[in-house]
Amino acid sequence: MAKEAPTLTVAVDDSSGSARSIENDITNLDFGTPRGVQDVTGVNKSAMERLLLLADFSITLNGVFNDASNLSHAVFATVPSTSVARTVTLVMSGQTLPNETFFTDYSLSRSASGELTWTAPGVLTGGVVPTWA
């Protein structure tokens, strides 16, 4: 029997710090928790030597325009005019990944057939290591 895909919930703080559940407006997302790597290979080595550096988090949310109260447009419309960190909380299969995030853009696109969609990329702020709990 095939397993069902896990349900994903996504909450993003609005500019006043209130968490808003906006997963119904999100059509797809990409996120990563990469680590920096420093090459420290000496000339006396025949293979790479590396050090693991700082942790990071980035996310790009893509969705359908919804200007209803407390939904995606209300959350992201203030990105160009405010400089606040927003908590992004991802929950999947009972696992939670919360991160303090700066959103760097909120771009809207209208296709020739009439769809109005948006993209909101974000990056880690605050220096806390992204950790699933």
Domains along the sequence of the chain with CATH: 8-124 (2.40.30)
Q: CA 104, 98, 51 angle in degrees (round to 5)?
A: 80
Q: What is the mean pLDDT of residues 63-77?
A: 97
**What is the pTM for the complete model shown?**
0.90
Q: CA 12, 28, 131 angle in degrees (round to 5)?
A: 50
Name the average pLDDT for the chain: 95
The pLDDT, as a whole number, for residue 3 is 77
pLDDT digits (tens, 9 = 90+) for 54-66: 999 999 999 999 9
Percentage of residues of the chain with pLDDT beyond 70? 99
pLDDT tier at 38, thresholds 50, 70, 90? very high
> Distances from the Cα of 21 to the Cαs of 4, 13, 40, 58, in angstroms?
22, 9, 44, 19
